[in-house]
Amino acid sequence: MAIVAAVLALVAAQLARADGLIPALTAQQAENARQWIGGFKTNLRGPYLRIRWYCKDGSVLPPAGNPCKDLGGGVQHAELNSQAVRLASWNVHAGTLLTGLAYDDLFDAAQYHHRLKELVLEAYLVEVDQGWIYRKAVSYRGARQIEDEEKAGREFLIKMLSTPAWTARNYHLATQAVRVVPHGVADSTVQKTRALAAVAAEQDPRFQDLRAKIHSHPGPEDLGSVEAFLKAKPDSGAAKPLGELLALLRAQQNPVNWLPRLTEHGKRLAGTRFPALIEALKGALSERGAEHALERAAELSVAIRDEASQSANGRRNLLLMDLNNMIQEKAFELRRPPSIASRREMLAHWYEHVRLAAGAGLVSDRQLGALRGELDAGLKSQRAPAEEYRRLLRYLNRAVEWCRATVQRDFGPVAEHYGAFEPASRGLVDSLLRGSAALAVANLIEILAADADRQAGLRHSVFGQEAAAGVAGLNPGIATGRLGILKPGEEHGVVDPRGIYVIPQTASDLKPMAGILTLDSGNMLSHSQLLAANLGIPNATAPSSILGALEAKAGADVFYAVTPKGVVVLKEKAQLSEAERKLWAAQPAGPPKRIQLDMSRLRLDDRRMRTLTEVSTADSGAICGPKAANLGQLAGYFPDKVAPGLVVPFGIFFEHINRDLDRSGRTLQAQITEMVDEAERMRARNAEPAEISAYVYPRLERFRKTIQGMPLLPEFEREITSRMAAMFGPDGSYGVFVRSDTNAEDLPEFTGAGLNLTLANQVGTANILRALRAVWASPFTERAHDWRSRALIGTDKVYPSVIVMRAVPSDKSGVIATADLETGDQGWTTVNLSEGVSAVVDGGVAESILIGPEGAVKLLQQCRATYRKTLGAKGGFVNLPPLGGDSLLDNGEIGQLRAMVAEVKRKYPPAHGTAGMALPWDIEFGFEKGQLRLFQIRPLVRFQELKTLEALASLESGGRGMVDLEGTP
């Protein structure tokens, strides 16, 4: 039987959790920030204390007169109050003033431009939260001098855009910075607006607040505010200047004036290629309609990006990017497709919006090229097989996630940082997406994806509503249970293992549950996905746009199924038809039967430490776990690619716990067996999961603490210290990864991925021995116990061996599956990787490609990580900004991976799952200065219950016909 056609999880051991570049706020800091920000909103001075003169000689003087006149000049603006200063020390820069702020401080390269991103978030909060911290402070005269702010903003942007390599890597961030950083405009409209507002305020003091708003925070909402003022105060003595101001604001926002603004840009760009492109767009807008205008707008936008990404002329680049932002806003109005269009025409219309997304920096040139290639191949004939048409649309749908990944990389961390005290912040990413070309890209592909599914005979169904784009099955399976919604940041310990949960992201530490529905994007690097796939837990993704419909059914008993082809069905159990009830009664929902843990080969009396090269697959389950055994064999096959390491066998752990450690008269092993036996008796009498947990969890905690604190046997401590010195060098001169490896993982029936602890880059003997005990204790966490108990019987006999392996300072690292995870084709290899020392991406999206036969490489996802991990000299990780780049792997590195995979397939006998099918390999790897390093190999175990898969397949109808690409969807 072929491997099921679903995108299954690919994962390597979780090396360590990192916090990113910005330390998270503590609970107390978040509470203080919430209170202080709330106070700023009602304070007439907002986040400011007082007005001061800042002279060029460094003097700070009171605001009376111009005391800086004889000191070389200076500027006047507000001073932050003490609370705002304290917030700034926590990376919350409320009330930022550009005047006097050093370029490097605002650019903030060390924190991946956090301060610059804060300005974008602040502009969003001001828009959606009634002025946010400036709600009352807009009338605080002198707090910010907009002329000085614009001068400082213009100088900053010109310098920022004078480094083309940076602009190319950060184009989306650059476009947003140009949008929000005040820097003035070419004509005098803004100056005239300010002057009229000032005159009106002098003639009618009641206009003073609006005058201050227009001077300090001008925006499109000013038009409505002035109209409302005149309507409410017809007796105003400032009727004349207010009338002129109103006319100016209306003219400024009138779409008819867009053509003259284009003309003005054309004049200022004389001598470049852009005037011709601008004239082409003007002609399309005037004569040839929206479709042609869309093409010309996309062409101009992409050309601007190309120029700004290559030119060091920051002044001209700023002019171009102002023009680009104007084009993007205008093109937003052209997002609706023609009323009647063929599939080919709709795809062409969709592609122009993708080009606009590329022009905004949401899609890279590499991604745009990949989409163009797939589109050209899919449209080469008039008719296409339904399955091929659906595969094309599934690939093109990646563009939506690519856009989201870019915005999430740029603004997700700052929104989450502020979200700890300002919940509205978490809407920033969606707001930026909905206000961009990504909206049209998503809306159009949803129509086309639904059409492709219909043509293929497939129907997603969520509570009776057909769903298309954004809904995708990941792991096949069936479940029934109560529907729950986990909010971002909600404690995952509250889950009921019998429930079906909607979660904000596929978390690496998720506890067992009956079914998983992930909003927006499943994480390909999640241990939970691999565990879910192995146990037949249905797992799918859905767009956050349907969250409201899901929340309306929270608490309901539901039926949930994901088929091998990725069809997703979610409905209330009460709505099942009679035929469906009979079908699912014949094939009950739930995980496969629990299996007895095989302990027949255990040799707990073998307590000899070995080097990696001294163990092989014959030792798996006997003296060490499969991780060490497979790694030993890997070291034999690839001696120059596997770092040296020591293996601490099961027997040494057993020797340590087979002692009376708490003076109770019983060994710790006996206490563990007693707990497991009682838990099994409780399951046999159908005790509630909560009752079992209430019995088990306190005992697990006690076992962990005992193991973590127990003294090591003196002979073992002396031996491991001596062996490490001989293998790695003097104490403190090296770092090691201390990796857990039990006899209850990487089994044909159960993977156990990520359930146990790995402690990264431990430096110093004392730290390494402390880490060893922590790793020994990790099988006794609540999560590890719950997942194992779901699949295995005999968990009291779970023993960890440990690998102590020299740390490798990888420049990039990741995981490989020796198959296309979507189609199951083992002629292809799936590669996921990120920058730095990490196979798990904590802060963004990993690079994902397919390496095919005869040199083919297919892009699945471009790296959008928010930081990279490097080894710390004193241990642990140091997080640094990502280096960026269009592709993480060069041709030579891809060649090394291709050769390594071919050698693995030649030398390793194929592993087979419970259904007899050959399993692909899951391989951890890294590159150190261009040289391949290998860290682990194991079979990629997945759920293979044939009867369940066959029952699921009954949800999928035929769809074997042809699709007319000239027909309408």
User: What confidence tens digit (pLDDT) does each residue in 429-457 have?
Assistant: 988 988 899 988 988 888 898 888 888 88
Q: Are strands 829-835 and 868-871 parallel, antiparallel or unpaired?
A: unpaired
pLDDT in tens, 112-149: 999 999 999 999 998 888 899 999 987 787 788 888 99
Average pLDDT over residues 166-191: 84
**First-to-final CA distance of the chain:** 34
Structure tokens at 371: 């989409």
Burial class (CB in 10 A: 0-12, 13-18, 19+), 98: buried
The least confident of 276-285, 518-527, 656-665, 931-940 is 518-527
Structure tokens at 624: 């060490």
More confidently predicted of 678 and 910: 678
pLDDT surpasses 50 at 66: yes
CB-side neighbour CA atoms (13 Å) of 698? 5
Q: Evaluate the CA torsion angle 673, 663, 784, 833 in order and state its sign.
A: negative
pLDDT in tens, 244-281: 888 888 876 665 667 888 898 999 999 999 999 999 99
Q: What is the pLDDT of residue 186?
A: 44
The least confident of 324-328, 776-780, 917-921 is 917-921
pLDDT surpasses 80 at 171: yes
Average pLDDT over residues 53-66: 91
In sequence order, what DSSP letters do the residues of 183-214 get, joined into one string? ---SSSHHHHHHHHHHHHHHH-GGGHHHHHHH
Average pLDDT over residues 904-922: 78
The least confident of 344-358, 743-757, 767-781, 911-925 is 743-757
Please tell me the total number of residues recorded for the chain in this structure.
969
Nearest CA to 320 out of 433, 186, 119, 192 is that of: 186
Strands annotated E in 626-745: 645-648, 735-742
The least confident of 57-71, 411-425, 557-571, 667-681 is 557-571
pLDDT surpasses 70 at 533: no
pLDDT in tens, 93-104: 999 999 989 999
CB under 8 Å to 695, separation ≥6 — which residues? Answer: 675, 678, 679, 682
Cβ pair 123, 216 in contact under 8 A: no
pLDDT surpasses 60 at 404: yes
Beta bridge partners of 648: 802
Q: What is the pLDDT of residue 583?
A: 59
What does pLDDT average to over the chain? 86
Residue 208: alpha-carbon gap to chain centroid: 45
Under the banding of pLDDT at 50, 70 and 90, the label for residue 4 is very low
pLDDT surpasses 60 at 419: yes
More confidently predicted of 754 and 214: 214
Average pLDDT over residues 53-80: 91
pLDDT in tens, 567-582: 888 888 888 777 666 6
pLDDT surpasses 80 at 220: no
Under the banding of pLDDT at 50, 70 and 90, the label for residue 746 is low
pLDDT surpasses 90 at 471: no
Instruction: Output DSSP code: residue 866.
Output: S
Q: What is the pLDDT of residue 477?
A: 81
Q: What is the pLDDT of residue 13?
A: 28
The least confident of 9-13, 429-433, 468-472, 888-892 is 9-13
Gap between the Cα atoms of 748 and 743, Å rounded? 12
Nearest CA to 483 out of 401, 546, 405, 407 is that of: 546
pLDDT in tens, 849-878: 999 988 899 999 999 989 999 999 999 999
pLDDT surpasses 80 at 601: yes
Structure tokens at 175: 């476009």
The least confident of 108-122, 515-529, 549-563 is 515-529
Q: What is the pLDDT of residue 586?
A: 52
Q: What is the pLDDT of residue 7?
A: 25
Average pLDDT over residues 65-85: 93
Average pLDDT over residues 73-80: 92
pLDDT surpasses 50 at 526: no
Most distant CA pair in the chain: distance in Å? 98
Gap between the Cα atoms of 934 and 948, Å rounded? 36
Under the banding of pLDDT at 50, 70 and 90, the label for residue 777 is very high
Written in H, E and C, the secondary structure of 718-744 is: HHHHHHHHHHHCCCCCCEEEEEEEECC
Under the banding of pLDDT at 50, 70 and 90, the label for residue 207 is confident
Q: What is the pLDDT of residue 525?
A: 32
Gap between the Cα atoms of 504 and 876, Å rounded? 28
Q: What is the pLDDT of residue 919?
A: 80
pLDDT surpasses 50 at 903: yes
Gap between the Cα atoms of 699 and 694, Å rounded? 9
Average pLDDT over residues 650-673: 95
- pTM of the model as a whole: 0.84
pLDDT surpasses 60 at 15: no
Name residue, tokens 């990741």.
814
Q: What is the pLDDT of residue 249?
A: 82
Q: What is the pLDDT of residue 32?
A: 97
Instruction: Output DSSP code: residue 873.
Output: T
CB under 8 Å to 34, separation ≥6 — which residues? Answer: 421, 422
Gap between the Cα atoms of 784 and 511, Å rounded? 8
pLDDT surpasses 60 at 490: no
pLDDT surpasses 70 at 18: no
Gap between the Cα atoms of 6 and 472, Å rounded? 9
pLDDT surpasses 90 at 629: yes
Residue type, position 824, single letter: G
Cβ pair 84, 71 in contact under 8 A: no
Q: What phi and psi values does residue 592 have, to the nearest 5 degrees?
A: -65, 165
Q: What phi and psi values does residue 552 have, to the nearest 5 degrees?
A: -65, -20
Highest mean pLDDT out of 433-447, 585-599, 642-656, 934-948: 642-656
Under the banding of pLDDT at 50, 70 and 90, the label for residue 625 is very high
Nearest CA to 528 out of 755, 748, 745 is that of: 755
Average pLDDT over residues 803-825: 91
pLDDT surpasses 80 at 929: yes
Gap between the Cα atoms of 792 and 372, Å rounded? 48
Q: What phi and psi values does residue 130 have, to the nearest 5 degrees?
A: 55, 40
More confidently predicted of 583 and 2: 583
Alpha-carbon distances of 738 from 451, 803, 840, rounded to whole Å = 51, 6, 17
Structure tokens at 704: 């962990």
Under the banding of pLDDT at 50, 70 and 90, the label for residue 783 is confident
